[in-house]
Amino acid sequence: MARQSALPVGFEDLRGGDFKERYDIVELLGSTSRRVLFGGTDRQTGQAIVLRLSRPLRLHDEA
C-alpha cells in the first residue's frame, strides 16, 4: 500500500480519535480503494498497533 494522506471515499478519518475506546489512532499509514491502515497505540499496553479497515468485495441489497 502506498503511503497517502487522503482517505478513499466511504471511509471515516479516525486520526486524532479512538477506536473501541481502547486504541488511540494517530496516523494514516496507507490506503487503497478498498482498505485503510491506521497507526496508533493500545491504551492498555502502550504498544503500537496497526488498524486495518476493509470494505466488502460486494454489497448486497436486501429488499
Residue 35 region by backbone torsions, left for phi larger than 0, else alpha for psi between -120 and 50, else beta: beta
Strand partners, 19: 23
pLDDT band at residue 10 using 50, 70 and 90 as cut-offs: confident
Lowest-pLDDT choice from 7-11, 12-16, 24-28: 7-11
Within a domain: residue 62?
Answer: no
pLDDT of 6 reads 80
Q: Is 23 a residue whose pLDDT tops 70?
A: yes
**pTM for the full predicted model:** 0.77
Within a domain: residue 63?
Answer: no
Within a domain: residue 60?
Answer: no
Q: Cell numbers at residue 45, please?
A: 499496553
pLDDT band at residue 1 using 50, 70 and 90 as cut-offs: very low
The boundaries of the domain holding residue 32 are 1-55
DSSP 27: E
In the chain, the number of structural domains is 1
Q: Is 2 a residue whose pLDDT tops 80?
A: no
Within a domain: residue 7?
Answer: yes
Within a domain: residue 17?
Answer: yes
